[in-house]
């Protein structure tokens, strides 16, 4: 059983999905599986994900039901002790999972969540950072607000961009 299951909800992210998957494959922490849930994509993103050359990656297809349903399906299919989410248009720094797992294990809690800032690399001009989008600070570790690239904030999105929990 892998320590971490990374759930990637996917819907029409052809320009970004390869970079997202590459950022997972490049993690310094290697004991993970990736569950990509294609939510009825109509562009070439599902083909890119299905052909990803890493045996830790698997794809599940479903009719379009929205990102929440895709995440829930990924959780149901996950085999890992911990669950992590990465949107198909985001990227992680190479040590993200290593730092997250180390931090969560040190907390000794049954449930832990990361809520962090972001860097926006899609917008015009210089990349901008929003490192203070965190709610209540539970723990601090280097790189906590650098784990994703390319996320354009939307007020309707949940505050927690990535959540990792221990399976019971």
**Domains in the chain: boundaries:** 4-115+158-165
Tell me which residue has tokens 């601090």: 140
pTM above 0.95, yes or no: no
CA atoms within 13 A on the CB side of 147: 25
pLDDT recorded at residue 107: 79
Of 23-27, 39-43, 96-100, the range with the lowest mean pLDDT is 96-100
Give the span between the Cα atoms of 127 and 94, in whole angstroms.
19
Tell me the pLDDT tens digit for each residue of 105-161.
Answer: 887 766 666 655 556 666 555 555 555 444 444 444 444 444 433 433 333 222 233
pLDDT recorded at residue 144: 44
CA 48 centroid distance within chain: 17
Tell me the pLDDT tens digit for each residue of 70-119.
Answer: 999 999 999 998 899 999 999 988 998 998 888 888 877 666 666 555 56
CATH topology of domain 4-115+158-165: Spore Coat Polysaccharide Biosynthesis Protein SpsA; Chain A (3.90.550)
Q: Is 63 exposed, middle or buried (0-12, 13-18, 19+ CB in 10 A)?
A: exposed
């Amino acid at each position: 059983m892998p320590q971490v299951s990374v759930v990637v909800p996917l819907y029409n992210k052809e320009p970004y999905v390869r970079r997202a998957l590459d950022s997972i494959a490049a993690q310094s922490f290697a004991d993970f599986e990736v569950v990509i849930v294609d939510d009825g994509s109509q562009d070439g993103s599902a083909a890119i994900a299905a052909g990803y050359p890493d045996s830790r990656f698997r794809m599940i297809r479903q009719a379009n039901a929205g990102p929440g349903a895709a995440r829930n399906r990924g959780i149901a299919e996950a085999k890992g002790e911990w669950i992590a989410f990465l949107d198909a248009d985001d990227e992680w720094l190479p040590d993200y999972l290593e730092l997250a797992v180390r931090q969560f294990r040190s907390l000794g809690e049954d449930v832990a969540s990361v809520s962090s800032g972001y860097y926006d690399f899609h917008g015009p001009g210089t990349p901008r950072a929003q490192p203070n989008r965190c709610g209540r600070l539970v723990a601090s570790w280097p790189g906590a607000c650098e784990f994703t690239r390319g996320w354009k904030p939307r007020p309707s999105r949940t505050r927690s961009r990535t959540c990792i929990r221990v399976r019971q």
